[in-house]
Structure 1
Amino acid sequence: MNDKLDLGVVVEPFHNPKLELKTVFRSEAVLAVSKDHRFADRKEIDFAALKEEPMLAVSKDYMYYDQVILYCQKAGFTPNIVFHSSQWDILLEMAAENQGVTIIGKPLVEKMYSERLNCIHLKNPEFPWGLGVIYKKGRPLTVPMKCFLALCGEDL
């Protein structure tokens, strides 16, 4: 907001009325569980079923943390968070070792952990997940900004 950066990359859902958001990738957040977890054979799960589960979460510094809390609250509960980390791979490693479950972007699991974790579709509510590029509203796009957005597949 102080004009030190032209663009930023964010995990969606993301909302800030002062910033323009261009979505460049869409997927979903899933429940990542160990192959040995009691939910491992499920294809989908209601958020409410997670009420008592030990949850591994990103640090409170991330807006994504607030989104996870919000989606749990929409399902009528406060999550039982037993561990926080700013590192996605630590959360995934701990989930793979059956030390809890985590709600995380499906591509993050599929890329490196598909042999050790199962992805379970979340419903009631569903949880969209994506990557977006942000920049200050009303700020003219420079040539480098336009080039980067074009690389991300944004037609200007």
Structure 2
Amino acid sequence: MKLVTHPSHPMAGREEVHLADLREESFIFFREDFVLHSRILNECMNAGFRPNVIYETSQWDFISEMVAENLGIGLLPERICRDLDPEKVKVISLNPSIPWHLGVIWRKDRYLSFAAREWLKHTKSYVWDAE
């Protein structure tokens, strides 16, 4: 996970930020029904604070757009951050880092539709091309 801020944010010039340094910030979060919501919330609580969540969404691109409008900060997976416009947002490493690993599981002995096979092919190429 990476911190995403507006380029004018006071922390935008830093190479890395401690999660505890974000205790006074306004966060834009994923919705509660996303695993990342509880993952980030737990990490903040472990760092000694409950984040001030001003908005929740199901869309990562909406989080980055709100940050680009200087409405708050966000925490997004590193892979997503690679595609963000550096003119609009600043991506900063967290210390300690918050690892986020995505897994895909399917049964080899079961039929997969054409759409499912294409989705798997696309997902594999997207993730592996990024590494």
TM-score higher than 0.5? yes
Equivalent residue pairs, number: 118
Residues 92 and 113 in structure 1, CA contact (< 8 A), matched pair in contact too:
no
Distance 1:152 1:143, change over 3 A: farther
More strand by share: 1
How large is the RMSD of aligned CA atoms in angstroms? Answer: 2.1
CA apart distance, 1:134: 3.0
Moved over 2 A (4+): 112-115, 140-145
Tell me if 1:81 matches 2:53.
yes
Alignment partners' CA distance in 1, 2:91 and 2:105: 28
CA apart distance, 1:50: 0.6
Alignment partners' CA distance in 2, 1:144 and 1:38: 52
More helix by share: 2
Identity of aligned residues (%): 31
- Matching residue of 1:57: 29
SS of 1:68 mapped into structure 2: helix
The residue identity in structure 2 corresponding to 1:44 is E
Tell me if 1:43 matches 2:15.
yes
Q: Whose relative contact order is higher, 1 or 2, with alpha carbons under 8 Å and at least 6 apart?
A: 1
Q: Which runs of 5+ in 1 are unaligned?
A: 1-28
SS of 1:111 mapped into structure 2: coil
1:50-129 alignment runs, 5 A limit: 50-123=22-95, 125-129=96-100
TM-score (norm. length: structure 2): 0.80
SS of 1:134 mapped into structure 2: coil
Q: Which runs of 5+ in 2 are unaligned?
A: 126-131
